[in-house]
Structure 1
Amino acid sequence: MDNDELKDIVKEAVGGVRLSCRVQPKASRNAIAGIHGGALKIALCAPPVDGKANEALCRFLAELFDLPKSAISIATGEKGRSKSVAISGANTEKIMNALLRIP
């Protein structure tokens, strides 16, 4: 990942940041799987049932960005794989730096 790719995915928003994600549920482990179709591809162990994948996504991102889980919410796409995640209490620089540190 590089800065140019991330600029399309991480956007400044009112009260924080919006992150474009593409979720792959029922994966073998939770991990960032790169960039796919203009979104950050995130593999999650949780199944896409009863909001479990959404909860796992919020927990995973909160840990990744060192933020409380309450700072992460699904803005759009709760029922689909493509999601827009609202991150409060952070700026684009913090989020991009955290993503750039991922090997």
Structure 2
Amino acid sequence: MAKPKLRNIPNLSTRATPGETIAVRVTPKAAKDSIVIDSGTIRISVTVPPENGKANDAVRRILAAAMGVAPSDLTLKQGQSARDKLFVYTS
């Protein structure tokens, strides 16, 4: 999978604290990859379909880019097949 091409991503580096949980709302099969903070809620849109974990992997990569960390440092704790997901930063 190629790296997501994002512009104007918000800086979420303050969330890069070990053990920090990050709640996100995901929209798969969107027109473009994007990340937006709306009223404190992180909303991530990805272009890939929710098949075989592809959307979860794309969300992990986009969230990691916004946080300035490696995607392998983020673990999906809750929401494997749901739109609302909970990631944990483990460094």
TM-score, with length taken from structure 2: 0.72
Does residue 23 of the first structure (1) align with residue 21 of the second (2)? Answer: no
| Rg larger in structure | 1
Q: Which residue of 2 aligns with 1:56?
A: 58
Selected match of 1:46 from 45, 48, 53:
48
Q: What is the CA-CA distance between 1:63 and the residue it aligns to?
A: 1.6
8 Å contact kept, 2:35–2:62? no
Aligned residue identity for 2:64: A
Q: CA RMSD in A?
A: 1.9
- Structure 1 runs (4+) deviating above 6 angstroms are none
In the aligned structure 2, how far is the partner of 1:63 from the partner of 1:71? Answer: 11
In the aligned structure 2, how far is the partner of 1:66 from the partner of 1:58? Answer: 12
Does residue 34 of the first structure (1) align with residue 55 of the second (2)? Answer: no
In the aligned structure 2, how far is the partner of 1:17 from the partner of 1:85? Answer: 8
In the aligned structure 1, how far is the partner of 2:37 from the partner of 2:71? Answer: 22
* Higher helix residue share: 1
The number of residues matched between the two structures is 76
Aligned residue identity for 2:71: K
In the aligned structure 2, how far is the partner of 1:40 from the partner of 1:62? Answer: 13
| Structure 2 unpaired stretches of 5+ | 1-14
Q: What is the CA-CA distance between 1:57 and the residue it aligns to?
A: 0.7
* Higher strand residue share: 1
